Each structure stands twice: as structure tokens, then as C-alpha cells.
Amino acid sequence: MTQVTSTGPFGTTTASAWDHSPAEFDFRSDTLTTPTRSMLAALESINLGDEVYSECTATQSLESRIASLLGKPSALFVLSGTMANQLALRALLVQPPHSILLDSRSHIQLHEAGGVASISQAVTVPAVPSNGKYLTLEDVHQHAILSNDVHFAPTRVISLENTIGGVIMPTEEVRRIGEWARGEGIKVHLDGARLWNACSVPEPSAELLGEYARHVDCVSVCFSKSLGAPVGSCIVGDKRTIANARHMRKAIGGGIRQAGILTAMARVGVEEVFFGGKLGWANAFAKVLAEKWTALGGGFTLPVDTNMLWLDLEGRGIDDGIWKEAIEEGGVRISGDRIVCHYRECSHVNYGSEGG
């Protein structure tokens, strides 16, 4: 690892890539957060047991912690958010013909390489939220397939996402959908890759995590979005669902040997970043940027609820090419009209608190 030694008024210090993250000026995604020194230090005391043989105590400890936080009996560590979603859906589905009702903008629909078709032999039924922000029970009613008509694949799973585009889906709406689905014998999955962000407004809340999970059958949460861990997600659900997911994880090559190297860092991310309130810094930084953009006459295509800003460039009359050129000249990186803040960017901003 590259190290740089510098001498200043307080003596000589040695810095490394663990101190100076390449994510500092990169707003493309909160997946660009990098591990902290605390995560590196956690590796010194881990158990190196084989996780496929259920001998890794660091992984068992993380899974137990996440299951407890979300109020579910069991949890499973997997390598990515995509793997978590795909295994969760496969575990909830039985056999085709079956369909999954989801938001048309969801990660599962757009960014998981059509995995539900190959892994679950399922068709997706994408729904556009009528409120422009998140799915409601009324949207579900409109798109759910309850008929026994042989021309259609019946809805067996409803997949929600929170946050979606940085927008928080209220617990009340999750409750409404969950209760209705339960009455119809339909399972509900929550892609909670950024549930940590939703549950950090205004402060980190374990109770809110549990409240969201209470109304669905399984939840996936990610450790490499905003939390800074290099790899991993967890699926939580009942014991049968998680056992099915574990079996399928092995079948697709997702078994991990010395998983503690990864899960120890993920555990630090949960305790240090989420419970340490650092996601609140990212949310606050997004609000600062939103205020500055608004002052320049700019608008947004989605509400700025958490750490994401979706700029209405067209409404502001800004050409995409000119925008891209200006951003590059400014020395930062973003993805089109989307800016994703994470706590790394907050280290030089003063919000009047010790974390600012």
C-alpha cells in the first residue's frame, strides 16, 4: 500500500490510501466508498474458519447481528447486492409459471442482467409509481396478477426497493402492501441496499430497520453502499427462506471460505458508519448541494430525501455535453444528472457538529 510521510507543526505523520480515499471527489455512486483504517484493524483479530463449513465466527456474528437488527430469525452473508436479491427471490419462489411485481426503475429490473429469468425462470411485471416516487398499494392492485387464467403468470412475489433513487418509501406504505400481500398469499421482498440511508433520517434508528422488515418476508441490505465495506450484503428472513438461499448460493458458486476477511469489515461499517451517524453527514451534504443548486435556479426530478440528487438539467436549460465538460473541468466525477453523496465527501464540510 502506498504511504506518504509528511512533517508538520505536530510532528511527522504517515498517511496511506486508507486515509486518502479516491472516493473523495467521486459522486458517481455510494459504492465508491472505501474501507477505513478501523476496517483494516478489524482483520487483525478475526477467525479464519471456513464459512462454507459454517466455521467462521466473524461471519456468524455479523449474520446474527443483522438478523437481530431486522427482527428476523436468520441471515445469510453474500457477495453482492445483486446476489442477495437474486437468491432472495429464488428462495421465495416455488416453480414457474410465476411473476414478480416491481418498480419499473428498480435495480432488479434494470441492473441485474436479467437474473430473475435465468435463475428463477420468472417474468417481471414492472409498474410505474403513480406518485412518481415509490410504489403504493394502489399501484400493486393495478398490476398484480391474481387470476387463474392460463395466459398469465400469477404474481407470487412483490419486490419493493427502499430507498429508490434516494427517495424514502414510508413504513406505512410498506405495511399496507405487506398486509394485502399476506392476505393474497403473495410474498414480499424488500431490496434494502440503501435501507441504512432511509433509516438515518434524521438519526440512525435500529427500531426503524425492524419496522420496515416486520412487514415483508425477506430483506437484503448492502455493506458496500455508503458503509464503506469493500464487499457484501446480507439477506434476512425466516429459517426456511435463508436455508434455501444458502443452498442456492453454493449452487451458483457463491460459497466463501475465509469470509471473515470480508464480514469483519462489514461489521465495522454497520457499527462505525451507520450507528456512528456518518450517513447523516452524507444526507446533510446532499441538502447543502440541493440548496446551492436551487439558488442557481435549478430543480430536481425526484425529492432529495437522503444522499441522492437528481438534477433537472433540461428544466434548467443545460446541454448534457456542456454539463459533462464543466463537471470534468471541476475535478469531480458524477453520473449524468445524478449526484450520490457519501460520508467521505463530508470530511471538509462544517455542519456545526463534531462529525462535520
> Any idea what DSSP says for residue 258?
S
- What pLDDT sits at residue 19? 65
Contacts of 288 (CB under 8 A, 6+ apart): 349
For residue 308, the SS3 value is: strand
| Helix (H), strand (E) at residue 214 | helix 206-214
- Would residue 178 count as lying in a domain? yes
Task: Give CA–CA dist 99/204, Å, rounded.
Answer: 35
Domain around 193: 37-270
Task: Give CA–CA dist 202/281, Å, rounded.
Answer: 11
- Would residue 287 count as lying in a domain? no
SS3 content of the chain, % helix, strand, coil (to 5): 40, 20, 40
Helix and strand element counts for the chain (H, E): 14, 11
For residue 22, the SS3 value is: coil
- Would residue 80 count as lying in a domain? yes
Contact 156, 146 (CB under 8 A): no
How many C-alpha atoms does 274 have within 13 Å on its Cβ side? 25
pLDDT tens per residue, range 242-255 = 999 999 999 999 99
- Would residue 180 count as lying in a domain? yes
Mean pLDDT, 10 residues at a time, the chain of 356 residues: 42 55 86 90 91 95 98 98 98 96 98 96 98 98 96 98 97 98 98 97 96 98 93 98 97 95 96 94 93 96 97 94 90 92 58 36
pLDDT tens per residue, range 313-324 = 999 999 999 999
The CATH number covering residue 159 comes to 3.40.640.10
C-alpha distances in angstroms, 302 versus 129, 236, 312? 12, 29, 9
- Would residue 32 count as lying in a domain? no
- Would residue 236 count as lying in a domain? yes
- Would residue 240 count as lying in a domain? yes
Contact 193, 108 (CB under 8 A): no
- What pLDDT sits at residue 344? 65
State the pTM of this model.
0.91
- Would residue 285 count as lying in a domain? no
The distance between the two most distant Cα atoms of the chain, rounded to a whole number of Å, is 77
What is the end-to-end Cα distance of the chain in Å, rounded? 28
Question: What is the C-alpha R_g of the chain?
Answer: 21
Domain count, the chain: 1
Closest to 326 measured CA to CA, from 287, 348, 226, 316: 316
